[in-house]
């Protein structure tokens, strides 16, 4: 009888240990998981692609417990939440996988998460907490993509009302700096490539930086060449710079793009682009605009990561390990080609699980 109890305790604990490790070692979830800050004002969704989508100014909640901000930009970006949500779903439909998503559901009158905490929260303790939650979730997304892939892309979705009605792609290069020829851009890497939020991409690409920024290999070129919903953009071959060559008609990238993009390549290997959508597109085509197709084609061309072909592999996968493996194979920094990613955090979880196994074994032995 004692042997039976001991064997039962051992098998029970082994069952617990196996499923504990299974949950932590396989980084690819079968579906996205949603985490919310207090009151669901700030939202974070896990992903399984080296792609991050943030929507900082599309929220409309105005809780009375948060005071109105008194200075800075107070108007939100109409319909960017809807466009961003559609974009995420389009990505899933095309790839079978999810990007990481960070959303602020609060009105910009209450909180601006694309500014530093001083301007964004303006001293109110509860508003500061919301700003910190958004920043924390952003750091989680950045850290996850960095850990499992070593490279990736962050798209920060905004809206603007400039009269030129062009989509603005911000790479943390100012409007006046774009008003030069390509030779000037390529001959001044300190001012341009090394100061851009896509510095990591530029360092790995065989193309000249001007070509990636606004030439035939630029995101602007791919957006205007889209067969479904072409959208002219700045910078691009057709519009290498903004019409006025100043910040009054071109947004080059804000707090998120500067902090989490690869401009500081020692901190970040994730590139970031601020996408400023024009008013006509947001007001008239918010439900039909398909930004996903040209974005994925550009990622395939520049990052050599074929997200679209990934869906076929995911559909054919027989297990979560095969899904994980298919996604990891897109990343070029794999140490060993195995379906499970082992790293420091996984190692610590393994040690903790083994300790838990021993403790649980002792407890169950005494109970049963």
Q: What is the pLDDT of residues 42-65, one digit of tens each?
A: 999 999 899 999 999 999 999 999
pLDDT higher than 80, residue 331 = no
Predicted confidence band of residue 8 (pLDDT cuts 50, 70, 90)? low
pLDDT band at 268 (very low <50, low <70, confident <90, very high): confident
Q: What percent of the chain has pLDDT over 90?
A: 64
Give the sign of the dihedral formed by CA 28, CA 52, CA 327, CA 87: positive
Q: How far apart are CA 109 and CA 124, in angstroms?
A: 13
Q: State how far the Cα of 164 lies from the Cα of 162, in Å rounded to an integer.
A: 6
Describe the crossing of helices 307-316 and 320-328 by its angle, rounded to 10 degrees: 160
Question: pTM of this prediction?
Answer: 0.82
C-alpha 230/C-alpha 223 separation (Å) is 6
The residues, any chain, with a CB within 8 Å of residue 296's CB and separated by 6 or more, are: 91, 94, 95, 307, 308
pLDDT at 354 over 70: no
pLDDT per position as a tens digit, 100-151:
999 999 999 999 999 999 999 999 999 999 999 999 999 999 999 998 888 8
Write down how long the chain is. Answer: 368
Contact 26, 321 (CB under 8 A): yes
Q: Rounded to an integer, what distance in angstroms lies between the CA atom of residue 326 and that of residue 331?
A: 10
Residue 349's pLDDT is what?
A: 47
Where are the strands (E) in 139-283, listed by range? 152-159, 167-170, 233-234, 270-277
Q: Which residue in 368, 212, 178, 367 sits closest to 298, CA to CA?
A: 212
Q: What distances in angstroms separate CA 363 from CA 6, 18, 304, 358, one per listed residue?
A: 11, 18, 52, 9
Under 8 Å between Cβ of 272 and 197: yes
Q: What angle do CA 142, 222, 85 make, to 5 degrees?
A: 50
């Amino acid at each position: 009888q004692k042997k039976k109890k001991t064997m039962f305790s051992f098998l029970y604990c082994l069952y617990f240990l196996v499923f504990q490790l299974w949950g932590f070692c396989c980084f690819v979830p079968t579906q996205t998981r949603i985490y919310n800050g207090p009151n669901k004002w700030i939202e974070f969704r896990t992903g399984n692609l080296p792609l991050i989508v943030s929507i900082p100014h599309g929220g409309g909640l105005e809780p009375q417990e948060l005071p109105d901000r008194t200075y800075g930009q107070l108007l939100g970006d109409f319909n960017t939440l809807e466009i961003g949500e559609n974009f995420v779903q389009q990505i899933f439909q095309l790839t079978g996988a999810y990007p990481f998503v960070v959303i602020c559901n609060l009105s910009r009158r209450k909180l601006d998460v694309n500014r530093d905490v001083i301007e964004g929260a303006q001293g109110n303790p509860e508003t500061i907490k919301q700003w910190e939650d958004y920043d924390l979730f952003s750091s989680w997304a950045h850290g996850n993509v960095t850990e499992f892939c070593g490279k990736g892309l962050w798209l920060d979705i905004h809206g603007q009302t400039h009269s030129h009605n062009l989509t603005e792609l911000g790479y943390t290069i100012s409007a006046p700096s774009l008003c030069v020829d390509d030779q000037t851009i390529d001959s001044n890497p300190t001012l341009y490539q090394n100061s851009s939020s896509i510095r990591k991409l530029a360092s790995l690409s065989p193309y000249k930086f001007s070509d990636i920024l606004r030439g035939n290999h630029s995101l602007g070129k791919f957006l205007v060449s889209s067969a479904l919903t072409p959208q002219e953009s700045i910078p691009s071959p057709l519009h290498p710079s903004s019409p006025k060559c100043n910040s009054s008609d071109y947004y080059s990238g804000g707090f998120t793009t500067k902090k989490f993009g690869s401009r500081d390549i020692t901190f970040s290997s994730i590139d970031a682009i601020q996408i400023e959508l024009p008013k006509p597109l947001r007001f008239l085509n918010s439900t039909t605009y398909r930004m996903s197709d040209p974005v994925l084609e550009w990622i395939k061309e520049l990052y050599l990561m074929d997200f679209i072909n990934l869906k076929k592999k995911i559909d054919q996968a027989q297990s979560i390990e095969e899904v994980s493996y298919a996604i990891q194979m897109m990343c070029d920094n794999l140490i060993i080609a195995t379906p499970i990613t082992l790293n420091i955090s996984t190692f610590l979880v393994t040690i903790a699980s083994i300790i838990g196994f021993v403790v649980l074994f002792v407890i169950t032995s005494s109970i049963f």
